[in-house]
Amino acid sequence: MTSSQRILLGDTVAKARYHVTRESLVRYAGASGDFNPIHYRDAAAKSVGLPGVVAHGMLTLGMSTQCVVDWLGDPARITGYRARFTKPVIVDPEGGAVVDVVAEVGQVDQDAGTARIDLTVTFDGRTVLGRSQVWISLC
């Protein structure tokens, strides 16, 4: 997004599809230090009532924000973020998982030079992040 572009309420500004694999989870665990076995061992995940290995919540959160960063072209323009984890992303050992993100303008304040981008984040047709919102600077 360039500073001369105007966005309007309801505009879809970005869409993304992310493929998460078990290898993705291992890499994220190494980067984040989160080695909870529910993110790499099916038996551990099932022992706590999950249907299988789940993606790290913060990995899902980061992926969902990435499409806004890509659209803006500058991560420093993100001024705030919030989300509620509603469903896990189950990562199949063979096929992985696909997370879809749609970013729409939920609010614009031209005078303040800010906007709120509402994200719809889904896996397997179900919303996995609720009230997922990113606040941005328009300039």
Flag whether 75 is in a domain: yes
Flag whether 35 is in a domain: no
CA 63 to CA 43: how far, in whole Å? 26
- Domain coverage including residue 108: 12-20+56-137
CA 71 to CA 127: how far, in whole Å? 22
Helix (H) or strand (E) holding 91, with range, is none
Flag whether 7 is in a domain: no
Flag whether 27 is in a domain: no
Angle between helices 22-32 and 57-72 (to 10 degrees): 90
Question: What predicted TM-score, i.e. pTM, was given to this entire model?
Answer: 0.91
Domain count along the chain: 1
Question: What's the CATH number where 122 sits?
Answer: 3.10.129.10
Local confidence band at 139 (pLDDT 50, 70, 90 cut-offs): confident
φ/ψ of residue 130, rounded to 5: -100, 155
Flag whether 25 is in a domain: no
2 pLDDT more than 60:
no
What is the mean pLDDT of the segment spanning 4-14? Answer: 88
Flag whether 88 is in a domain: yes
CA 127 to CA 29: how far, in whole Å? 23
| 31-57 pLDDT tens trace | 999 999 999 999 999 999 999 999 999
